[in-house]
Each structure stands twice: as C-alpha cells, then as structure tokens.
C-alpha cells in the first residue's frame, strides 16, 4: 500500500531504507502530522521475505521492492590482473571478477580458470633472481668493505684475511650469475667463519 497524505494526524508502519542503497534496514511506527508526507528514506510498502544471500532493495521510481544478490564483504579477484577486491555494494559479482584466487603471480585467467602463463612465470623468476643477486651483492660488498679496512690498516687477523678472500671469491661468483638463467641458478654459498 502506498502512503496517502491526510488531513488528520496518523501513525503508520514504515519500512526504513539505507540512504545509499535503498535496502530495507528495519520497520517501525512513524507519527505523521496532518498535511505532511513520510520521513526521508522509508516507505509504507511492506518488503518481501528475502532468502539468505539476498537483500531487499526499494525501487523508489517504480514504487516496488526488488531482490538483489548480496556479496558484500566477500573477496573476488580481477581476471585481468589477479588483484584482490572486496565487494562493497549489493548486486551480482562485478564483471571481470572471479571468486577463485590465482595460485601465483604468473597465472592468467583463461575465461574459466587460472592457468600458468609461461612467459609471465619466466619474467617473475628472472625478476626474483635479479633482486636476490642484488641483495647478495650488497651483503658481500658490506662484508668486504669492513674486512678490507682491517687489511688496509694492517689490523686484520689471519681469520679476517681469509674471510676477506672468501667474500671476494663469493662476490666474483655472484657477478657471474645471469638472472635470465632462473630457475636453474645455483647460488654460491655465503662465506662463514673460515677458521
């Protein structure tokens, strides 16, 4: 039943709507003074019983309730790039998303499932190997700098001199590594105490 303005005060049952989505959020009685209309964000039209996973949305233009899927709070994945998205609006899942997560960064969506993309995998492995090489070279350079200072200042112990040689050999081996060879790279062992 739609609301009709009256010449007398009236109390009516109203069905309250969330202002941004027009979804049903509860009902109550509202006192309506004569010659006034309903408060904002409500209707006198009773919402239908909605099954789990759905929400009742009021279409103010057509003055009727509609049932929409409600996936808010669920996580979906963009099929273009695998990025995670959290659903914030009622309705069906957004176009170009899936509830299935990619297993790794180099998978691509084939329209039905995530599948490994050999080229993307190669690029990712080369990038990881390049980052690992840079990290290990920094570690070697830092160790060599301190040990070299001890040798240059004639303060190095025999153990420090041997360790300096081991770190320099390690750095040479690291520099010979080609990240493009990933994942077949055999990383040289990090020098420890030589004594």
Domain containing 110 equals: 75-116
Same domain, 60 and 14: yes
Per residue in 95-131, pLDDT (tens digit) is 999 999 999 988 999 999 999 999 989 998 999 999 9
29 in a structural domain = yes
Output the tens digit of pLDDT for each of the chain's 195 residues: 567 788 899 999 999 999 999 999 999 999 999 999 899 999 999 999 999 999 999 999 999 999 999 999 999 999 999 999 999 999 999 999 999 999 998 899 999 999 999 998 999 899 999 999 999 999 999 999 999 999 999 999 999 999 999 999 999 999 999 999 999 999 999 998 654
DSSP helix, strand, coil percent of the chain (3-state; round to 5): 30, 25, 45
Write out the H or E segment, with its range, that includes residue 152: helix 118-152
Q: Is the peptide bond before 148 cis (omega within 30 degrees of 0)?
A: no
192 in a structural domain = no
Same domain, 122 and 176: yes
What is the spatial distance between Cα 163 and Cα 32, in angstroms, rounded to a whole number? 89
Same domain, 27 and 61: yes
Same domain, 112 and 122: no
Domain boundary among 51, 69, 87: 69
Same domain, 143 and 162: yes
Same domain, 140 and 162: yes
Same domain, 123 and 108: no
Same domain, 62 and 108: no
Per residue in 2-13, pLDDT (tens digit) is 677 888 999 999
44 in a structural domain = yes
195 in a structural domain = no
Same domain, 110 and 139: no
Same domain, 124 and 176: yes
150 in a structural domain = yes
Q: How far is CA 18 from CA 63, 80, 93, 98, 150, in A?
A: 16, 33, 21, 28, 72
pTM of the predicted model as reported, rounded to 2 decimal places: 0.62
Question: Considering its fold, how many domains does the chain have in total?
Answer: 3
What is the spatial distance between Cα 63 and Cα 111, in angstroms, rounded to a whole number? 38
190 in a structural domain = no
Same domain, 126 and 162: yes
What is the spatial distance between Cα 3 and Cα 14, in angstroms, rounded to a whole number? 9
141 in a structural domain = yes
191 in a structural domain = no
Same domain, 104 and 127: no
Domain boundary among 47, 69, 91: 69
């Amino acid at each position: 039943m739609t609301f009709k303005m009256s010449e007398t005060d009236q109390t009516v049952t109203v069905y309250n709507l969330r202002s941004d989505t027009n979804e049903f959020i509860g009902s109550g009685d509202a006192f309506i003074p004569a010659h006034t209309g309903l408060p904002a964000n409500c209707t006198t039209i009773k919402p239908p019983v909605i099954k789990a996973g759905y929400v009742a949305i009021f279409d103010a233009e057509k003055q009727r309730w509609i049932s929409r899927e409600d996936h808010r709070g669920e996580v979906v994945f963009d099929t273009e790039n695998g990025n995670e998205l959290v659903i914030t609006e009622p309705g069906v899942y957004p176009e170009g998303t899936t509830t299935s997560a990619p297993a790794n960064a180099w998978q691509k969506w084939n329209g039905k499932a995530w599948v490994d993309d050999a080229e993307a995998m190669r690029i990712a492995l080369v990038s990881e190997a390049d980052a690992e090489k840079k990290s290990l070279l920094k570690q070697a350079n830092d160790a060599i700098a301190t040990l070299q200072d001890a040798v240059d200042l004639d303060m190095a112990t025999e153990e420090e001199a041997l360790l300096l040689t081991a770190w320099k050999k390690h750095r040479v081996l690291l520099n010979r590594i080609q990240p493009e060879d990933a994942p077949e790279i055999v990383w040289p062992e990090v020098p420890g105490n030589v004594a």
